[in-house]
Amino acid sequence: DTEVTQTPKHLVMGMTNKKSLKCEQHMGHRAMYWYKQKAKKPPELMFVYSYEKLSINESVPSRFSPECPNSSLLNLHLHALQPEDSALYLCASSQDAGGPGYGYTFGSGTRLTVV
C-alpha cells in the first residue's frame, strides 16, 4: 500500500461546529504532516509528527488540534473555525522526519469550507 488516505474529501462546517479530519497510511512511515493549501498558493506547513510525537507546530491557532493515535493515523480536530480557514487540508507522510530526503507522499486532501 503506497497511499495516504484522507477522509472526508469534502467538508462544509459552520463556525460553531466541531469536526475532525482523518489521515491514514500503511507504508510504515514514521513522520506525518498536516499542510494547508489555499487556491493557487503553495502548501503551508501546520504540524509535524515524528514517531507519534508532535515535533513542530508552526504557530497554528488553537482552533486546530492535531492528534496522532498511532503510527498509521493522524487526525486534525477543528473547532470554532473562521471562514478564512476554508482551504484544502493535506496530510503527508515520509519515512523519517529527520532522515535522508525521502519524498513526502501526500493524500488527496480534504476540501474544507467554513460557512
Partner 1 sequence: GQSLEQPSEVTAVEGAIVQINCTYQTSGFYGLSWYQQHDGGAPTFLSYNALDGLEETGRFSSFLSRSDSYGYLLLQELQMKDSASYFCAVRDRAGGFKTIFGAGTRLFVKA
Chain contacts with partner 1 (rule: CB under 8 A): 33, 41-45, 48, 50, 55-56, 58, 90, 92, 97-98, 100-109
Biggest distance spanned by C-alpha atoms of the chain: 42
Q: How far is the CB of 82 from partner 1 (least distance, A)?
A: 23
Q: How far is the CB of 9 from partner 1 (least distance, A)?
A: 11
Residue closer to partner 1, measured from CB, 12 or 15? 12
Residue closer to partner 1, measured from CB, 17 or 108? 108
Using H for helix, E for strand and C for coil, what is the string for 48-115? Answer: EEECCEEEEECCCCCCEEEEEEECCEEEEEEECCCHHHCEEEEEEEECCCCCCCCCCEECCCEEEEEC
Q: How far is the CB of 42 from partner 1 (least distance, A)?
A: 4
Q: Cβ of 101: how many Cβ atoms within 10 Å?
A: 8
Residue closer to partner 1, measured from CB, 23 or 78? 23
Cβ 38 vs Cβ 95: under 8 Å: no
Q: How far is the CB of 108 from partner 1 (least distance, A)?
A: 5
Residue closer to partner 1, measured from CB, 49 or 81? 49
**Quick one: cell of 42?**
503553495
